[in-house]
Chains A and B, each alone.
Chain A
Amino acid sequence: MLILFGIPITQLLIFGTVIKNEISDVPIAIYDESKDEVTAELINKVRSSGYFILDENLESINSIDQILKKGYIREIIVFENNFAQKLLKEGRANIQLIADASDPNLARLVTTYTTGIINDYVVKMNLNKGMPLQIQSEVRMFFNEEMKSSYQFVPGTMALILMLVSALMTSVSITREKETGTMEILLASPLHPFQIIAGKVFPYLLLSIINAFVIIFIGNLVFRVPIAGSFGLLLLETILFTTMALCLGIFISTVAKNQMVAMFISLIALMLPTIILSGFIFPIENMPKILQVLSYIMPARYFIEIIRSIMLKGIGIQYVWQETAVLGGMTLLLIAVSVKRFKIRLE
């Protein structure tokens, strides 16, 4: 009953709330070269829109690269100097919107909304002052100048495939041994449960690494997703994520009664939450708070962030060490819980 009604209802609720094209509370930074009343009014409008949160007022243009690489700020609004004066004298002034396009969907939304706010201001200004004024916004999509959608999909697909296939392989393999009865023989032998688990994980780890290589190369050569950062780091992070997924598979095998259940959990139960809540297609910043909190337990979320950062932004370990630590922690937790469950089963 729970599955029959629960799953459709939950899915509808999740899909309905996640698939929306509005944004709220997106962190941005502002570099205001002129600091006059007009820029102050515009900044105020942006801040009170509810779409953005002003995180930092920048003092120089040099740090833009660093800031976007950190991954927290999604857009930097740059006002040129003598903004108000230029508007009065020449009838036009320029704004630059620099967006972090490692998540192209979000970048598009963010710049569209910002432009919307600016245009709204222009219209109101023109009505009030009776002069045709223009504020030109130039949009720069950092890390993804050509706004290729493959940049959106390839990192996410990598995460999804590695996660599902790895979890599937180990969970099915172990439950199969339980079904055929060979697991009992192993347990009755002098082998330690840890050795049995390691023996199952290791070959799939090797196979998954080959898989990862292939996916990265296809992404790079066929879909032209760049590898701006260190390939070695990318590979190591992929191995870490794969190990985590394999351990997740082991955990699934301790709760699944047979191969069918293991397959169901690994593929179907994992697939939708991973696609929706990991930031793969729908930006996490868009989601209601509850789902944002839920997305914190999705391992794919961290890995997608890591891949995008390494492949598209070309950053080093210093920017992704937090996500890496989370993945490492998840792996250890899964191992500990699985070994414990293994032992409990023997009681």
Chain B
Amino acid sequence: MEKIIEVKNLVKKFDSFTANDNLTFEVKKGEIFGFLGANGAGKTTTIRILCGLSAPTSGDVRVAGYDIYKEQEKVKQNIGYMSQKFSLYEDLTVSENIRFYGGIYGIKGEERKRKETALLKNLEMEHARNKLIGSLPLGWKQKLAFSVALLHDPKIIFLDEPTGGVDPITRRRFWDLIYETAANGTTVFVTTHYMDEAEYCDRISIMDAGKIEALDSPTNLKIQFGVKTINEVFVSIAR
């Protein structure tokens, strides 16, 4: 299967602190890849490097088939990013946000209108088209931020703790959206510290103190560690 992310010997240091210590892993096209670990393990640092928000200290990184050192712009055109804060502009309407982000990726005019309608229909939010983002409930903002990040049909979408602060039902519904996206061929790279969400992924990696301590499908990991839940896998590693 095609490799959509290839990381070899990635090192990231902040002065004397090593946030990413010699990471090597691959993500396959169409996978839902979960990137787990405790706070401070180095997850956010890695995802920022993959998105081109930060430069590695050393190591080879290829995203969507492009080298992040030399072909950064191509990488950015082919990825989508949803940050922890569900970043949409609070004092713009849903429609205005779509128009803005569409514009950044060169989606204008008729094409944009088509995509906007399709997006709102898919989320069942047609009536909210002209509502301010600030007036919407958190779960809706979350789904919108996700869909807007997909507007330009990227090959991969990076989600940094996308379900923080919402109730379990909303979280479950959000994962339905993720499944839908992956089924369409888009790779989903998601970081989370909710261990139950790990079960939803095709493969997961668990980071601890800057290193990858485990990488496999949830089922295999549970067998490997002889436990019943990913939570227990995580606890075994963290000890």
Which residues of A line the B interface, CB within 8 A?
Answer: 180-182, 184-191, 346-347
Complexed CA–CA distance, A346 and B87 (Å) = 19
From residue A263, how far is it (CB to closest CB) to chain B in Å?
Answer: 18
From residue B163, how far is it (CB to closest CB) to chain A in Å?
Answer: 15
Complexed CA–CA distance, A181 and B142 (Å) = 13
Q: Are A180 and B77 in contact (CB under 8 A)?
A: no
Complexed CA–CA distance, A312 and B87 (Å) = 50
Would A191 and B51 be within 8 Å (CB), given that A180-B85, A181-B84, A182-B88 are in contact?
Answer: no
- The proximity string for B residues 76-118 relative to A, scoring 1 for CB distances below 8 Å and 0 otherwise, is 1101010111111110000000000100110000000000000
Q: Are A188 and B81 in contact (CB under 8 A)?
A: yes
The 8 A-B residue pairs whose C-beta atoms are closest, nearest first, are A181-B85, A181-B87, A188-B81, A182-B87, A190-B76, A188-B51, A181-B83, A184-B83
Whether B53 is near chain A, meaning CB under 8 Å from some CB there, is yes
Would A188 and B85 be within 8 Å (CB), given that A180-B90, A346-B53, A346-B54 are in contact?
Answer: no
Q: Which of A180, A182, A187, A189 contacts B105 (CB 8 A)?
A: A189
Chain B residue contacts of A347, Cβ below 8 A:
54-55
Complexed CA–CA distance, A191 and B53 (Å) = 12
> Interface centre among B54, B86, B88, B104, by most A CB within 10 Å?
B104
From residue A169, how far is it (CB to closest CB) to chain B in Å?
Answer: 15
Chain B residue contacts of A188, Cβ below 8 A:
51-53, 76, 79, 81
Chain A residue contacts of B90, Cβ below 8 A:
180
- The proximity string for B residues 47-59 relative to A, scoring 1 for CB distances below 8 Å and 0 otherwise, is 0000111110000
Whether B73 is near chain A, meaning CB under 8 Å from some CB there, is yes
Complexed CA–CA distance, A24 and B90 (Å) = 57
Chain A residue contacts of B89, Cβ below 8 A:
180, 182
Chain A residue contacts of B88, Cβ below 8 A:
182
From residue A258, how far is it (CB to closest CB) to chain B in Å?
Answer: 14
Q: Are A189 and B104 in contact (CB under 8 A)?
A: yes
Which residues of B line the A interface, CB within 8 A?
Answer: 51-55, 73, 76-77, 79, 81, 83-90, 101, 104-105, 149
A192 and chain B: residue at smallest CB distance = B73
Complexed CA–CA distance, A150 and B3 (Å) = 72
Chain A residue contacts of B73, Cβ below 8 A:
190
From residue A293, how far is it (CB to closest CB) to chain B in Å?
Answer: 36
Q: Are B83 and A185 in contact (CB under 8 A)?
A: yes
> Interface centre among A181, A186, A190, A346, by most B CB within 10 Å?
A190
Chain B residue contacts of A181, Cβ below 8 A:
83-87
A179 and chain B: residue at smallest CB distance = B85
From residue B160, how far is it (CB to closest CB) to chain A in Å?
Answer: 9
Q: Which of B55, B83, B85, B105 contacts A190 (CB 8 A)?
A: B105
Complexed CA–CA distance, A186 and B87 (Å) = 10
Q: Which of B53, B55, B79, B149 contacts A187 (CB 8 A)?
A: B53
Chain A residue contacts of B77, Cβ below 8 A:
190
From residue B162, how far is it (CB to closest CB) to chain A in Å?
Answer: 12
Complexed CA–CA distance, A347 and B104 (Å) = 23
Complexed CA–CA distance, A180 and B53 (Å) = 16
Q: Can you list 9 contacts pairing A with B, beta carbon distance less than 8 Å? A: A180-B85, A180-B87, A180-B90, A181-B85, A182-B87, A184-B53, A185-B101, A188-B81, A191-B104
B86 and chain A: residue at smallest CB distance = A181
Chain A residue contacts of B104, Cβ below 8 A:
186, 189-191
Complexed CA–CA distance, A345 and B54 (Å) = 8
Chain B residue contacts of A191, Cβ below 8 A:
104
From residue B78, how far is it (CB to closest CB) to chain A in Å?
Answer: 9
Complexed CA–CA distance, A185 and B104 (Å) = 11
From residue B129, how far is it (CB to closest CB) to chain A in Å?
Answer: 20
Complexed CA–CA distance, A187 and B73 (Å) = 11
Chain A residue contacts of B55, Cβ below 8 A:
346-347
